[in-house]
Amino acid sequence: MTAGGPETARFRELLTRVLGFQLDAGRTPALHDLLVERATATRSGGIDTYLMRLSQTGPSDPEVRALADGLTVTETYFLRGADQLRAFSEVALPDRMGAQRPARALRILSAGCASGEEAYSLAIAARAVVTDPSWKVSIVGIDVNPSALAKASLGRYSTWSLRETPADVRERYFRPDGREFVLDPEVRAAVSLSFRNLIEDDPSFWRPDSFDIVFCRNVVMYFTPDVMRSVIARISGALCPGGFLFLGHAETLRGTSQDFHLRHTHETFYYQRRESSDATPPSLPPTSSPQPRAEAPCATAALDDISWVSAIGRASTRIAQLARTSQDLPPRTPDAPTRPALDLQPAVELLRRERFAEAMDLLGALPTTSEDDPEAQLLRAVLLTNGSRLREAEQVCAQILSADELNAGAHYLMALCREHAGDRGAAAEHDQMAAYLDPGFAMPHLHLGLLARRRGDLDQAGLELGRALDLLAREDASRILLFGGGFSRDALLTLCRSELRACGGGSW
């Protein structure tokens, strides 16, 4: 058996089935070694027998726990993501206390709690907010890695785990013991820990209205898009309407779920479950395309991210394919269409040739169903923006965003419209949302840089323009066509460099 042989490939498939992971080709030698190790440790009598047995195991099987021990990334620390913890304390907790006043109980889940630092940080933060003893705050920490959970239940931590913990919090909640720190027993008692594999659907645990707030940070980035979709659906089903979901900063729900509103406070993003009275937009069709990631954890994800889905966003996939020139990357297989595709190609061609009015006429001649078609609507908004019809463009963007709040392209165009209307605050807000939702999208950073320079914030301008310069070099040709305002990549790079020089960034 060789590392790149069919056994390792089968092992990778089975790991995706039992743990949900997307494991890239770069990990093949490590997977091969783990396969040999587990086949030997389980005395399976051979690789084939081990693989056959693994194919019959469920997500909670002891062998899956052993594999999780060898494969999961458990890096974490106390008070990680201080901005999100402030949003938790100052927005989510007060909001949920308002909603749960009759019951006087809050339930919080740390999904993928690793060695417990996140769950205990939530307990520490909640103690400062929920001071009335008649309230009960229960925190549940779940994880698939048994060693991490064992460490969590000990409640003993090194200085490394406390590297972001201010001295006063350390003194109040930890007792030094040799080279370690022992967590306050009352904080420990507020958290219950258990083994749970997020890919397993256990209706007794994932009951509707079970949690007010869920933290699931730096977990779903390791999953395949389909697994991420089903895990988020499970979490969404168990959250109370109006409940909050916090993901890691490199994880977004774009293209994954329509169950949530995007919230942006305390310089961070998080989600709030739609109330049942909210109209939930139609759910997204299944897709084999990857969720875009800021820091893709593996090489396969990075390769797949060349797809047009991550380039422009789900709602504009088809436009992106149409906008592709012959020199661009080879076409990817389109997702299964959910409705008869409108022919947008002629309008895209006219956009390429900057014949905006004619392109609009073509769009106007499409069947009336095009008004519900997100791709046609986004193209319409692009054309209206390029044709300086920004009020109309804004209306179209508002329609797109009311159906899909997580459409990065529509947020970016909305930013241009708001700036034109003199509302620079809202413009920056939409740019930030676009940049968060699609971490590879250069234009919102360029626009944020220009806005910052105009208000005299040269440090911020330098940061955003530097980011834009970096992303523009790799930006997809189709996205430059759609969102570059008629400029070529080179022209946009030149603009970025000269703006950076004007901000004092001499080396550009």
Ligand X SMILES: C[S@@+](CC[C@H](N)C(=O)[O-])C[C@H]1O[C@@H](n2cnc3c(N)ncnc32)[C@H](O)[C@@H]1O
Q: By CB neighbour count within 10 A (0-12 exposed, 13-18 middle, 19+ buried), where does 60 fall?
A: middle
Q: What is the DSSP string of 339-374?
A: SPPP--HHHHHHHHTT-HHHHHHHHHTS-GGGGG-H
Part of the chain binding ligand X (CB under 6 A), chosen from 128-136, 142-150, 368-376, 388-396? 142-150
Part of the chain binding ligand X (CB under 6 A), chosen from 35-43, 158-166, 194-202, 384-392? 194-202
Closest distance between ligand X and the C-beta of residue 373, in Å? Answer: 36
Q: Is 361 in the site for ligand X (CB under 6 A)?
A: no
Residue given tokens 């944020």 in the structure block: 448
Q: Is 268 in the site for ligand X (CB under 6 A)?
A: no
Q: Which two tokens stand for residue 159?
A: 């200085």
Neighbouring-strand partners of residue 101? none
Instruction: Give the count of beta carbons closer than 10 Å to the beta carbon of residue 257.
Output: 20
Interface pattern 228-267 for ligand X (x via CB under 6 A): --------------------x-------------------
- Considering only 79, 92, 93, 144, the residue that binds ligand X (CB under 6 A) is 144
Closest distance between ligand X and the C-beta of residue 297, in Å? Answer: 10
Q: Is 219 in the site for ligand X (CB under 6 A)?
A: yes
Q: What is the b/e burial string over 465-489, where b = at least 16 CB atoms within 10 angstroms of the residue's CB?
A: bbbbbebbeebbbbbbbbbbeeeeb
- Considering only 7, 14, 15, 19, the residue that binds ligand X (CB under 6 A) is 19
Q: Is 199 in the site for ligand X (CB under 6 A)?
A: yes
Neighbouring-strand partners of residue 246? 215
- Strands 211-216 and 105-111, sheet pairing: parallel
Part of the chain binding ligand X (CB under 6 A), chosen from 4-12, 217-225, 339-347, 412-420? 217-225
Q: Which two tokens stand for residue 447?
A: 């626009």
Q: Is 20 in the site for ligand X (CB under 6 A)?
A: yes
Q: Is 197 in the site for ligand X (CB under 6 A)?
A: yes
Q: Which of residues 96-125 bind ligand X (CB under 6 A)?
A: 112, 114, 118
Closest distance between ligand X and the C-beta of residue 72, in Å? Answer: 3
- Considering only 92, 123, 193, 198, the residue that binds ligand X (CB under 6 A) is 198
**Which backbone phi and psi does 439 adopt, to 5 degrees?**
-60, -15
CA-CA distances (angstroms) from residue 252 to 95, 270, 498? 22, 9, 32
Contact criterion met (CB below 8 Å) for 282 and 252: no
Contact criterion met (CB below 8 Å) for 384 and 390: yes
Q: Is 22 in the site for ligand X (CB under 6 A)?
A: no
Q: Which is nearer to ligand X, 68 or 414 (CB)?
A: 68
Closest distance between ligand X and the C-beta of residue 489, in Å? Answer: 35
Where do contacts with ligand X occur on this chain (CB under 6 A)?
A: 19-20, 68, 72-76, 80, 112, 114, 118, 143-145, 148, 197-199, 217-219, 222, 248
